[in-house]
């Protein structure tokens, strides 16, 4: 498989990688086809363990609380999305045409889940030592960025911290509208500061639309050096 060359792993059992690259929307159209949801669950645990051990060994001067915060930044959705983009993962995930037409190949949450599924596939096929090496190789730059505070945990928190540096400012997120069927509802939100709309966002959950509204505000009104991942 071409994707094996992208990530530098040759699988003994190709089917486990195929499952990792199969979204539920595609599997629903093909009876009894396995998809990556359970692999995401496993991959999250493997990733957490690998990163926890790595930062425990390499950042001995940090306290438990500092390590916990560092780990949360490294394994957040923004970081996983960053890894997914480096693999061009969206190109390789099997999904339904409907999912693709609604932006699935670029959706951060879907791609982040896909990274976790691939990590689980490496673990199942190659073992824990290979999984650790794989995670450390692909997250090395992110670990360094997190150490330098160059990864934003979430756009809403980042926007709040920047705008409230010199005092309290009221930041409100308002749902503008939503549309579509219940199983594929799209939400449109805006972030309002001092009664002025500073950013707009849309997504397939209210939370995602608010995060993207905050990102929009950051990109429009905050200096580029404050934008990360």
The residues annotated with a catalytic role in the active site are 44, 116
| 186-193 vs 196-203, strand pairing mode | antiparallel
DSSP label of 176: E
What distance in Å separates the CA atoms of residue 44 and residue 224, rounded to the nearest whole number? 31
What distance in Å separates the CA atoms of residue 135 and residue 222, rounded to the nearest whole number? 32
The reply, when asked if residue 40 is annotated as ligand binding, is yes
Q: At what angle do helices 108-126 and 128-147 cross, to 10 degrees?
A: 140
Count other Cβ atoms within 10 Å, centred on residue 144: 11
The reply, when asked if residue 174 is annotated as ligand binding, is no
The reply, when asked if residue 106 is annotated as ligand binding, is no
Would you list which residues are annotated within the binding site for Mg(2+)? 40, 113, 116
Would you list which residues are annotated within the binding site? 40, 113, 116
């Amino acid at each position: 498989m071409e994707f094996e060359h992208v990530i530098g792993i040759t699988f003994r059992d190709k089917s486990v990688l195929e499952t990792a690259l199969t979204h539920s929307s595609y599997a629903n159209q093909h009876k009894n086809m396995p998809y990556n949801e359970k692999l995401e669950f496993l991959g999250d645990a493997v990733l957490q363990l690998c990163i926890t051990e790595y930062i425990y060994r390499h950042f001995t001067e940090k306290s438990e609380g500092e390590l916990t915060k560092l780990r949360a930044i490294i394994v957040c959705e923004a970081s996983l999305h960053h890894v997914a983009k480096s693999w061009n993962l969206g190109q390789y995930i099997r999904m339904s045409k409907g999912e693709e037409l609604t932006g699935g190949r670029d959706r951060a949450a879907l791609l982040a889940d896909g990274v976790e599924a691939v990590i689980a596939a490496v673990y199942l096929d190659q073992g824990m030592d290979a999984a650790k090496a794989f995670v450390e190789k692909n997250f090395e730059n992110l670990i360094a960025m997190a150490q330098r505070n160059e990864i934003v945990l979430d756009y809403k928190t980042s926007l709040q911290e920047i705008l409230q540096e010199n005092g309290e400012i009221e930041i409100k997120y308002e749902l503008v509208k939503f549309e579509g069927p219940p199983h594929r509802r799209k939400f449109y939100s805006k972030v309002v500061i001092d009664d002025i709309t500073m950013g707009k966002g849309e997504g397939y959950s209210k939370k995602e639309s608010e995060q993207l509204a905050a990102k929009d505000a950051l990109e429009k009104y905050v200096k580029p050096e404050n934008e990360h991942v």
